[in-house]
Structure 1
Amino acid sequence: MKIRTKLTLIYTVISTAILLAFSIVIYYSAHKSRESEFFTALEQEAITKANLFFIAKVDTTTLQTIYRSNIEVINEVEVAIYDAGFNLLYHDAEDIDHVQETPEMIDEIIDNGEIRFYQDDWQAIGLRYKYNGIAYAITATAYDRYGYSKLFDLRNTMLTVLIMAMAVIYLAGLYFSKKAFDPVKAMIRKAESITASNLDLRLPSTGNHDELSQMADTFNKMLNRLEDSFNSQKEFVSNISHELRTPLAAMTTELDLAIQKERTTAEYQKIIKNVLFDSRRLAALSNNLLDLAKAGYDPQEISFKVIRMDEVLLDAMQTVMKHRPGYAVNLHFEDSEENDEAAGVFGNEYLLKTAFIKIMENGCKFSPDNRCETFIHQSPETITITIKDNGIGIPDDELPEIFKPFFRGSNRSYTEGNGIGLPLAQKIVSLHKGSISVSSQTGKGTTFVVSIPVI
């Protein structure tokens, strides 16, 4: 069932229930009002006939004749008068006698002064009447044909109005739900037209700051992220294709030349060295891509534990100097006091080590002396690692771009690289809820500052 239909039905049921409740209250009030008014009319009729009998001394035959004449056209009241000894003094129609009085009833009337009751659909009342100091019991009963007819008409009218109201409410609900869901339909049609080839399309927003507008804005923000992700993916594929094509083309060319004719041992060794160089470039690129992908995982899927940053940095420094014999990294502890609990963070040791290896290698390879200095400082909230070099530096206009994958600046001719190391380091630092910043002066060197929260 569609939400529009469901809301219409709920709206109709609730509205009908409210109307039905009001109708029941109105009908009950009318019923009680009719009952009370008719009991009052019975009381007045009983007292009037008692006055005619006791005070006006109207004879019994005349009163009975009036009663029998009136019952043919109006709701005439049947009245009976008893004394305290249950002796009948007067009765409008003793042969009819709807009340069926008993001695107990007469005693109750004289003791209590008044009783009200029903005989089937006939209302009856008993009154104590005093004349010349003597108490008498008067009963009066009648069928309120006119009152019941009005109640019957009221009930039928309310049922008819209720049924008509249900139909009107349902149709009104359909109309207003359609108007309310028109923006949703427009969003659905627009969303169905959005594909990978036209991610620039956006859902229409009313700008009214209502829930539909908020949903459209949220969806559009998601589309912005998807578009950025698709564009980044396209750029990534384009860049990685270029990075892979260059060494593969070089290797293919070297091998083609090698098999074209017989060559000397020295020439073969040179070709093998060139191919080996390109294959190592491919291996390094593959490793960097794997690390980059690992750094992009969901943090919940990466194993984190408490680690010491000083040990991570020492391990990274030794790895750099082992794999790059010409590189030199010096590590400085700025905290004067030794503390076994110092430099503790909650993170992944392999990833953090990879990040600092990339930054250290970057500093060394762009420095004439292949050297960089690393400083570690701990505050109550963060651990700050500063890595400085005295290399060629980075131009100011290129600083905002260095953390983009595959970006190679104007210094690309200085040494080989593939533009993955620094973006990888930034992803890893962000994964650990840290921050990384860079400052540089052309010809004087570059400084990277990494801050990671302590546990």
Structure 2
Amino acid sequence: MSIQKRLTLLFTILTGGILVFFSIMVYYSASKNRLAEFYITLEKEAHTKINLLLDTQLDAETLQTIYLKNREILYEVEVAIYDWDRNLIYHDAVDIDFVKETPAMLDAISENGHIRFVQDKWQVVGILFTFEREQYLITAAAYDEYGYSKLASLKNTLLLGLITALLALFFIGKYFARKALLPVAEMTQEARKISASKLDLRIKAGNGHDEIGQLALTFNQMLERLEKSFESQKQFVYHVAHELRTPLSAIISDLEWNLESERTRRETLRSLANTLADARKMAKLSGSLLDFAKAGYDRSEVNFRNVRIDEVLLDASQQVQTSNPDFKIDVNFEADMENEEAVTVWGNAYLLTIAFSNLMENACKFSPDHKCHITISHKGSNVLLAFRDKGIGISEEELEQIFTPFYRGLNKDFASGEGIGLALVQKIVQMHQGRISVSSILNQGTVFSLELPNILQSNG
């Protein structure tokens, strides 16, 4: 069932329920009022009859004649009067008596002084009346035909009004539900036009202040992120294809050259060495791309645990120096190593090792002395790391681009690389809820500064 139908039915049911409750209360109140008013009428009629009989000394036959004539026109009140000894001294019409007075009824009147009850829709009152020190028991009964007729008319009016109101509420609710959901229908139509090739399209947000406007704004923000992500993926695929094409072309050329004709052993070895170098470059590039993809995982999908930064630094330093014996890594521990929690982060040791290794290799590659100076300390709830070199530096124009995947600046002629390392480092640091910044002076050196929250903050 659509939201529009659900809203319409819900509105009709709730409002109709209120109207039904209101109608029941009106009918119940009218019924109670009719009952009370008719009891008062019966009591007045009873007092009138006994006053006519005892005070004015009007004879009983005349009173009975009046009752019988009025009864032909409308339901007259039927009155019976008894003395204290339970002797009947007056009755409007004994032969057509509808409510029979019983000893129990007369006893109840004498004991309570006043009774009221309903018998087959006839209302009955009993009154204890005193006249010239004599007590009399009076009963008055009648059928309120006019009152019941008014109640029946009221019930029919309420039912007709309720049915009419429910129909009107249904169509009104349907109209307003369609009106309220019209922006959603328009958003749906606009969203259907959006595809992978049309991510630049946006949904109209109206004034942006109501819930639907906020939904449209949120959806547009998601589209912006998707557009950037798709564009980044396109660029990524383009750069991957470009970077892989060069070594692949070189390998193919070397192999074709070897197959064209016989070569000397020296030429063959030189060609194989070139092929091996290109293959190693491809392997390194593939490894970097794999690490870059891992760093793009959702934080919840990566295995995190308590990791000591100083131990990760030493492992990364050992790996870099094993692969590059001429690289020198100088690690200076400014932090209090006895406070283990201060230099322990909630993270992934493998990814952190990759990040630190990339920063160390960059520092050594672009420094004439192939040396990287590292300091580790802590401040409050953060572990602070600084990777310094005395290399060629980075220009201010290039600083804004160095974390872009596959970007290589003017220093690409100084040392080889794939342009993935720093982008990978940034992703890993962000995954660990940290920050990375860089400062550099041309021909003097570069400093990469990292802040990682220790376990006191991460677990808090």
Question: With structure 1 as the length reference, what TM-score do the two structures score?
Answer: 0.97
Aligned to 2:189: 189
Aligned to 2:64: 64
CA distance in 2, matches of 1:302, 1:323: 27
Quick check: 157-166 or 92-101, which moved more? 92-101
Aligned to 1:23: 23
Tell me the alpha carbon deviations over residues 142-183 of structure 1, each in whole angstroms, 9 at most, x when there is no partner. 111111000000000000000000100000010000001101
Aligned residue identity for 2:111 = D
In the alignment, structure 1 residue 5 sits paired with structure 2 residue 22: no
Is residue 434–residue 453 contact of structure 1 (8 Å, CA) maintained in 2?
yes
CA distance in 2, matches of 1:337, 1:90: 117
Q: CA deviation at 1:338?
A: 5.2
CA distance in 2, matches of 1:248, 1:165: 79
Aligned to 2:14: 14
Aligned to 2:318: 318
Q: Secondary structure at the match of 1:287?
A: helix
Q: Secondary structure at the match of 2:72?
A: coil
CA distance in 2, matches of 1:125, 1:341: 92
CA distance in 1, matches of 2:335, 2:143: 106
Tell me the alpha carbon deviations over residues 8-43 of structure 1, each in whole angstroms, 9 at most, x when there is no partner. 111111111111111111111111111111111111
Q: CA deviation at 1:307?
A: 2.3
CA distance in 2, matches of 1:59, 1:311: 124
Is residue 308–residue 340 contact of structure 2 (8 Å, CA) maintained in 1?
no
In the alignment, structure 1 residue 399 sits paired with structure 2 residue 405: no
CA distance in 1, matches of 2:363, 2:4: 63
Aligned residue identity for 2:59 = D
Is residue 84–residue 106 contact of structure 1 (8 Å, CA) maintained in 2?
no
Aligned to 1:217: 217
Provide closer, same or farther for how the CA distance between residues 227 and 336 of structure 1 changes in structure 2, counting only shifts above 3 A.
closer
Aligned to 2:291: 291
Q: Secondary structure at the match of 1:72?
A: helix
Quick check: 326-335 or 10-19, which moved more? 326-335
> Residues 46-195 of structure 1 correspond to what in structure 2 (within 5 A)?
46-195=46-195
Is residue 380–residue 454 contact of structure 1 (8 Å, CA) maintained in 2?
no
Q: CA deviation at 1:272?
A: 1.5
In the alignment, structure 1 residue 348 sits paired with structure 2 residue 348: yes
> Residues 186-335 of structure 1 correspond to what in structure 2 (within 5 A)?
186-335=186-335
CA distance in 2, matches of 1:343, 1:82: 107
CA distance in 1, matches of 2:376, 2:160: 86
Aligned to 1:409: 409
CA distance in 2, matches of 1:173, 1:341: 62
Is residue 343–residue 454 contact of structure 2 (8 Å, CA) maintained in 1?
yes
Q: Secondary structure at the match of 1:415?
A: coil
Quick check: 304-313 or 420-429, which moved more? 304-313
CA distance in 2, matches of 1:443, 1:142: 118
Q: Secondary structure at the match of 1:369?
A: coil
Q: CA deviation at 1:336?
A: 6.8
Number of residues of Structure 1 aligned to a counterpart in Structure 2 = 455
CA distance in 2, matches of 1:341, 1:35: 84
Quick check: 395-404 or 322-331, which moved more? 322-331
Q: CA deviation at 1:340?
A: 5.8
Q: Secondary structure at the match of 1:401?
A: coil
Aligned to 1:377: 377
Tell me the alpha carbon deviations over residues 358-400 of structure 1, each in whole angstroms, 9 at most, x when there is no partner. 0110111111121121111133412211111111111101101
CA distance in 2, matches of 1:255, 1:386: 45
Q: Secondary structure at the match of 2:363?
A: helix
Quick check: 333-342 or 10-19, which moved more? 333-342
Aligned residue identity for 2:261 = K
Tell me the alpha carbon deviations over residues 337-368 of structure 1, each in whole angstroms, 9 at most, x when there is no partner. 75566632222111111111101101111111
Provide closer, same or farther for how the CA distance between residues 336 and 150 of structure 1 changes in structure 2, counting only shifts above 3 A.
closer
Quick check: 159-168 or 38-47, which moved more? 38-47
Provide closer, same or farther for how the CA distance between residues 341 and 233 of structure 1 changes in structure 2, counting only shifts above 3 A.
closer
Quick check: 148-157 or 201-210, which moved more? 201-210
- Percent identity between matched residues is 50
Is residue 98–residue 119 contact of structure 1 (8 Å, CA) maintained in 2?
no
Is residue 386–residue 450 contact of structure 2 (8 Å, CA) maintained in 1?
yes
CA distance in 2, matches of 1:114, 1:338: 97
Aligned residue identity for 1:387 = F
Q: Secondary structure at the match of 2:52?
A: helix
Aligned to 2:444: 444
CA distance in 2, matches of 1:9, 1:261: 86
Q: CA deviation at 1:113?
A: 2.0
Provide closer, same or farther for how the CA distance between residues 162 and 335 of structure 1 changes in structure 2, counting only shifts above 3 A.
closer
CA distance in 2, matches of 1:328, 1:439: 21
Quick check: 398-407 or 426-435, which moved more? 426-435
CA distance in 2, matches of 1:32, 1:232: 78
Is residue 316–residue 354 contact of structure 2 (8 Å, CA) maintained in 1?
yes
Is residue 392–residue 442 contact of structure 1 (8 Å, CA) maintained in 2?
yes
Q: Secondary structure at the match of 1:224?
A: helix
Q: CA deviation at 1:103?
A: 2.6
Is residue 39–residue 125 contact of structure 1 (8 Å, CA) maintained in 2?
yes
Aligned residue identity for 2:270 = K
Q: CA deviation at 1:101?
A: 0.9
Provide closer, same or farther for how the CA distance between residues 200 and 321 of structure 1 changes in structure 2, counting only shifts above 3 A.
same
RMSD of aligned alpha carbons: 1.5
Q: CA deviation at 1:75?
A: 2.3
Is residue 402–residue 422 contact of structure 2 (8 Å, CA) maintained in 1?
yes
Q: Secondary structure at the match of 1:94?
A: coil
Is residue 308–residue 342 contact of structure 1 (8 Å, CA) maintained in 2?
no
Q: CA deviation at 1:58?
A: 1.3
CA distance in 2, matches of 1:372, 1:11: 72
Instruction: List gaps (5 residues or longer) in structure 1.
Output: none
CA distance in 1, matches of 2:92, 2:17: 48
CA distance in 2, matches of 1:425, 1:337: 25
Q: Secondary structure at the match of 1:262?
A: coil
Is residue 342–residue 383 contact of structure 2 (8 Å, CA) maintained in 1?
no
Q: Secondary structure at the match of 1:71?
A: helix
